[in-house]
Amino acid sequence: MAPITEYMDYRKYIRDFYAERKALSGFSWGAFAKLAGFSSPVFLQYVCEGKKNLSETSALQVANVMNLSNVESEFFKRLVSFGSVNDIDSKKKTLEAFLRFSEESHVQNAIADEYGLFKSWKNLLVRELAQAMPNASAKRISLASRRRISTGEVKKILDFLERAGYLEKENGNFRQTERSLKMGKAMSPVKRMIAHDLQIQMAELAVDALKNESAEGRDITGLTIGITRENYGRIVRELAECRRRIVAIATEAVRTDEVYRLNMQFFPLTNIGAKRGSD
């Protein structure tokens, strides 16, 4: 199985460890729990199903059974800590502390690269502009952005995008290693937090565009509609198909003239269903 540093969800790591041990030796959840010092034979199974959580102490007990090194155990413990907080502000603070630990311990991991890319709209813009501009320099990219990004910021972002493998250089020009990026449907707690934060940033950019961009250069419209619960699923699927078609149109051309952002926001304005359920 992959090392712990490639995981973004501690529950998945436990599940993979268990599956590997079981395939080799007939390992059971009861044996696993006993080795980790838990009285309930199904406790770790419930943890993996999201029904129970590990504490800081029990996380180290499980790490010992999985034969993790000191640094790996600390990594695992911080994954557990991140998975135990619920509100977005606490998650951000926990994640930032986690990333500081990774940097100080010189531990390269999947979370740092994923968060590094999606933590700011600036990273996504620079990634698009770098490929769009022949012989792109940090200064030219900075000047091409309608929202303020300093040359120093662009340099740091380009360095990260190259190191993390999102961009590579060919004959002095930047090239994207993947034309389009997706966060995926089955998102880990880390990805959900990153997606939430990024959506807020993009919504703020949309408000800024409404205030400062001419109507000729943007297309921002909306609907207020009454729907059934069944139709909600149909509309969500229709929006997903629309996004897929738009990505296909955008990626069929090799050239980029400008970089645009498309937000699709579909959210409730009422709680009629909740009131009915309490009657």
Q: 161-187: per-residue pLDDT in tens?
A: 998 889 999 888 999 988 777 766 556
Number of neighbouring beta carbons within 10 Å of residue 171? 7
Q: Quick one: what percent of the chain has pLDDT higher than 70?
A: 95
pLDDT of residue 48: 94
pLDDT of residue 184: 60
User: Mean pLDDT over residues 260-274, rounded?
Assistant: 87
* Averaged confidence pLDDT in the chain: 88
Q: Would you say residue 37 has pLDDT above 90?
A: yes
User: Mean pLDDT over residues 122-137, rounded?
Assistant: 92
**What pTM was estimated for this model as a whole?**
0.68
Phi, psi at residue 176, to the nearest 5°?
-75, 135
Q: What is the dihedral of CA 246, 206, 133, 252, to 10 degrees?
A: 0
Number of neighbouring beta carbons within 10 Å of residue 169? 12
What angle (nearest 5°) sits at the alpha carbon of residue 117, between those of residues 202 and 97?
100
- DSSP state letter for 213: S
Residue whose entry in the numeric block shows the structure tokens 């990626």 = 251
How far is 259 from 129, CA to CA, in rounded Å? 7
112 contacts 100 by C-beta, under 8 angstroms? no
Does the CA dihedral 157-162-163-165 come out positive or negative? positive
User: Mean pLDDT over residues 233-258, rounded?
Assistant: 91
Q: What is the DSSP string of 42-74?
A: THHHHHHTTSS---HHHHHHHHHHTT--HHHHH
User: Mean pLDDT over residues 234-247, rounded?
Assistant: 94
pLDDT band at 69 (very low <50, low <70, confident <90, very high): very high
User: Mean pLDDT over residues 148-156, rounded?
Assistant: 94
